[in-house]
Chain A
Amino acid sequence: MGVLAAVSVPPRLRATAAGTATAVVGVAGLVAGVAAVTGTVWRVRIGWLLPLSGAEFAVDPLAGWFLVVTSVVVAVTAVYGIGYAGDGHASTRRPTWVLLPVFGFALLLVPVAASVGTLLLCWELMAITSLLLIVTEHAARAAVTRAGLWYAVMTQGGFLALLIGFSVYAAGAGGQTFTALRAAHLSPAVRGLVFLLILAGCGSKSGLVPLHAWLPKAHPQAPSPISAMLSAGMVNLGVYLVVRVGFDLLHGGARWWWLLTLALGALSALYGIIQAAVATDLKVLLAYSTVENMGLIFLGVGAAGVLRASGADALAGVALAAALLHMANHAGFKTLLFTGAGSVLRATGSRDLDALGGLRTRMPATTALFAVGALGAAALPPGNGFVSEWLLLQALVHAAPSGGIVTTVAMPLAVAVVALTAGLAVVTFVKALGVGFFARPRGPGADAARESPPLMLTAMAIAAAGCAVLALDPTLFGQVLSPVVTALIGTPAPIGGGVMLRLNHIGSSLSPLWIAAALTGGVLVTVMVIRVVGAGVARRRDVALCDCGAGAPTARMQYTATSFAEPVQRVFDDVLAPRTDIAVTPRSESRYIIEKLTYQREVPDRIEHHLYQPLIHGYHRLGRLAPWLGNGSVHRYLAYGFTGLITLLTVLAVLR
């Protein structure tokens, strides 16, 4: 319906029609998801939709949870997209708006697919529509095409891994519905192979290091509403499939699978946040933060698997609930942050933090909403990210005695990784907010910025309200998550309590609502005391900034994003290996008098450089072989055919 609307209506109304249709898809998904997590389980088989196998859909609590999170993201970004497209700020080209509702729909179909064929079809639909949406602005910037190419290769590589993995699995199980897969009895080696292939496929979708290379290229290059949908919605489905296959279909599995998942998650979290801390492009920063948060989620999922394999089911439930809650939290604040970045890009024409600043006075509402998201992303109380990281830490801290020497060593290291990640997330988001929005503008674009239209602010406010609910009343979601976790792990709900977050079997408790109330109370008491104590004091007055007697400081004297992150970059010098280039041009009369000094700094993605460049070079070399192989000689082609036939016959003769 949305497609029809987008095709038919005139360009002026196209964004509104397609955006509304997408939002309706999102709301419908939300209703289905809420119904599913509260207990309504349904399944549908549409025989005619797919030849040979037919399409199968089923909704259970796990699918419901992902439906709820993804559909809210889809609906909010769609509303935002309508506002974003106004005033000719985005392309009104037909394909973009036709694809938007299809992409939103595909995002919601993946978690409800209940057979291998259906799942792969929905997965591929999601991949292709997202690819086409990423390359929307390819005519304007060359980087978009490059990013699209990266994404196309990585996502199709991931799909290949999934295809092989599921083919092996379905062949072993003798059926392709999830019910058949669940009942299959496979050898441990085959199960391990299936899990590895699916982990690789999902890792490439969720941006796990080292398969993350496309994410910080592609997410920032898409139009901002699409960036939000990709970074807050699509990446979650990698988590979904790993949880679905690992916990549900394969019933847990061996400990090494989950140790590998945990290690990959830890690596992604650290690498992602270090890169985010030194990034100066706002959207690249957010994309690397997605890599980080996906890493944390996979770390939680891995910890849950390890704990379950060690027999600590209750703690495994806490870890899995933490991972799933963090996914919801991440979706909430990342929607808010990416839409905020989109508003900034739309108003200033720049994503470069070094050229931003001063938006607090020019875009007050956007700044306040971005601050809510940044608080969540920095995982500080009373933000929403804090609650899920707290849960994750609880599972890790109390895990050690259960699993022998492996967990005794792995869990403290995991805690350290989570802690360092949280610390660097603070650096990242203080930088994004403090340098990007506060103080004075560092460039002409920021100086001329104006507040976004109400529709965009409304969408952002909905996302912010979602973040606030997640931050202040996580127990609500604890109750929603309970059936999900119970269905997967088999033990009853690990989390309980009213406004208090209490864990069964662990003595720790937390009440974000109390903390927020106590902080508010503290502020009020302080204000009152200051009023009373300073009763006779003259009123506050405005003065010039302290200039040390050297004249008013200019905007260029402010710290920039680059200088803010310089200490961090120096500390992680060996990890980041930044390229610095200083060119000194001396004057002609003496080489001691300098005419010009150019300083260039670049922090390349080291993994991409060392892992993918050799691959790409090798591929190029192979490509150069092709003209030699096919030089146009008919004799040679005949010889190829003949040799091929002989080889085939020989192989058959040997095998028979």
Chain B
Amino acid sequence: VTAATLATVVQVLTVIGVAPLLTGLMRQTRARMEGRAGAGIGQPWRDLRKLVRRPAVTPVGTGWPFRLAPLALTATSLVIAAVIPLITTRSPLDHGADLFAVVGLLAFGTVTLALAALDTGTAFGGMGSSRAITVLALVEPSILVAVFALSARVGSTNLAAIVTTTLQHPLRVMSPASLLAAAALVVVIVAECGRLPVDNPSTHLELTMIHEAMTLEYSGADLALVELSAMMRLTVLLGLLASLFAPWGIATAGLAGLPLAVPVLLSKLALLGGGLAAIEVLLAKLRLFRVPELLAGSFVLALLAVTSSYFLA
């Protein structure tokens, strides 16, 4: 039990440490491809350090929903980082929280932030929370049907079981069901993390922003937590994608596998993050009301994944 707990602690600390670097890497990739010098991979960490050294402010008229949201959001990110098998499959939390619970926790995090944004009573806050929650609602069917496709043959929705089964039957990754589910999940991750073409993470233009509109009133340590959580969510979801479809390298027993598992995870994340950033350079943001079409497409892919797993198996 202690070895598993220790491995999980290492995993959570890795996620916290890597998350800002991954965001930095993605920004740097974009900058270079757009012909700019870029601020360097470490810039998000420097931003966070700057933020925690400044006093937080409480806008007049806001209350506990506003104050609690950064904490609750960070807590959900931490729990998810502890549950998902990124470098170890033996998280002590694994039996307590399966893939559905992870999806639920992600949604819970978004909801706390949306409620905080509504609590400010500003037009921007309401706009951001309305949009974020609409996207969340429409993403849900794709995620759960993709989960269906992945877990039905394993006979369990617990992540460790899915990953271990994939390790035992590596060829299943190449099945149509698995590939379709992967495609659906990529769209889901793009929407959940507010990346292009659903949301532009580097804009503060009122007509387009979703996530940023909800965080406008935050400052100091509060803002640092919100930003760090957003980065951790992206890291964890990309890591989840890697673990579900390319689980090789994950430590399945004890601490012995960790020295290998951590660098493998880092390279997988760098590859996925760099690739995502490179694709983002080529994309324009979709109009908000075209986003449902994108998500409907993702849902169809997930549904095809489920049906193909029965008809082609």
Contacts and interface: CB of A to CB of B under 8 A. Distances in A.
Answer whether A and B are interacting partners. Answer: yes
A416 B144 contact: yes
Contact of B148 (A415, A513, A521): A415
Interface in B184-226: 216-217, 220-221, 225
B129 A430 contact: yes
A365 interface: no
A557 B64 CA distance: 22
Q: Which residue, of A357, A544, A567, has the highest number of chain B Cβ atoms within 10 A?
A: A567
B65 A564 contact: no
A559 B126 contact: yes
Contact of A510 (B79, B97, B111, B114): B97
Nearest to A554: B121
Nearest to B143: A419
B79 A545 contact: no
A423 B140 CA distance: 6
A553 interface: yes
B139 interface: yes
Contacts of A427: 133-134, 136-137
Interface string B253-281: 00000000000000000000000000000
Interface residues of B, number: 83
A559 B130 contact: yes
Given A545-B121, A563-B130, A511 B95 contact: yes
B58 A542 contact: yes
A543 B115 contact: no
A420 B295 CA distance: 12
A434 B72 contact: no
Interface string A561-590: 001111110110000000000000000000
B39 interface: no
Given A415-B145, A514-B93, A515-B96, A530 B118 contact: no
B101 interface: yes
B61 A423 contact: no
Contact of B115 (A438, A567, A568): A438
A508 B148 contact: no
A419 B65 contact: no
B158 A509 contact: yes
Contacts of A553: 121-123
A515 B100 CA distance: 12
B127 interface: yes
Interface stretch (A54-62, A283-291, A532-540): A532-540
B163 interface: no
Given A360-B63, A412-B307, A559-B123, A510 B148 contact: no
A506 B155 contact: yes
B123 A540 contact: no
Contact of A514 (B96, B114, B289): B96
B232 to A, nearest CB: 11
A555 interface: yes
A423 B72 CA distance: 20
A430 B156 contact: no
Contacts of A440: 61, 121
Interface in B76-108: 76, 78-79, 82, 93, 95-98, 100-101, 104-105, 107-108
Given A412-B145, A509-B95, A527-B71, A543 B57 contact: yes
Interface stretch (A225-233, A389-397, A452-460, A477-485): A389-397
Contacts of B139: 423
Nearest to A394: B157
A514 B120 CA distance: 32
B63 A507 contact: no
Contacts of A382: 108
Interface in A439-485: 439-440
A534 B60 contact: no
A398 interface: yes
A510 B78 contact: no
A3 B77 CA distance: 55
Q: Which residue, of B104, B125, B221, has the highest number of chain A Cβ atoms within 10 A?
A: B104
Contacts of B64: 360
Interface in A353-404: 357, 360-361, 378-382, 386, 390, 393-394, 396-398, 400-401
A427 B130 CA distance: 8
B147 interface: yes
B178 to A, nearest CB: 16
A510 B52 contact: no
Q: Which residue, of B152, B220, B292, has the highest number of chain A Cβ atoms within 10 A?
A: B152
A438 B122 CA distance: 12
B221 A530 contact: yes
Contact of A393 (B93, B100, B307): B100
Contact of B138 (A398, A412, A423, A508): A423
A439 B121 contact: yes
Contacts of A434: 65, 114-115, 118-119, 129
B225 A530 contact: yes
B65 A438 contact: yes
A488 interface: no
Closest 8 CB pairs of A and B: A559-B126, A507-B156, A522-B75, A434-B118, A423-B137, A439-B121, A514-B96, A423-B140
Interface of B: 52-61, 63-65, 71-72, 74-76, 78-79, 82, 93, 95-98, 100-101, 104-105, 107-108, 111, 114-115, 118-127, 129-131, 133-134, 136-141, 143-145, 147-148, 151-152, 154-158, 161, 216-217, 220-221, 225, 288-289, 292, 299, 303, 306-307, 310-311
Given A420-B141, A537-B220, A559-B130, 14 more contacts: A390-B100, A394-B157, A408-B307, A412-B307, A419-B145, A420-B140, A427-B136, A519-B72, A534-B53, A541-B55, A543-B59, A546-B217, A564-B118, A571-B138
21 contacts: A378-B111, A381-B101, A401-B310, A416-B303, A427-B137, A430-B111, A506-B155, A507-B155, A507-B156, A507-B158, A526-B71, A533-B52, A537-B220, A540-B57, A544-B59, A544-B60, A545-B122, A553-B121, A559-B118, A559-B123, A571-B289
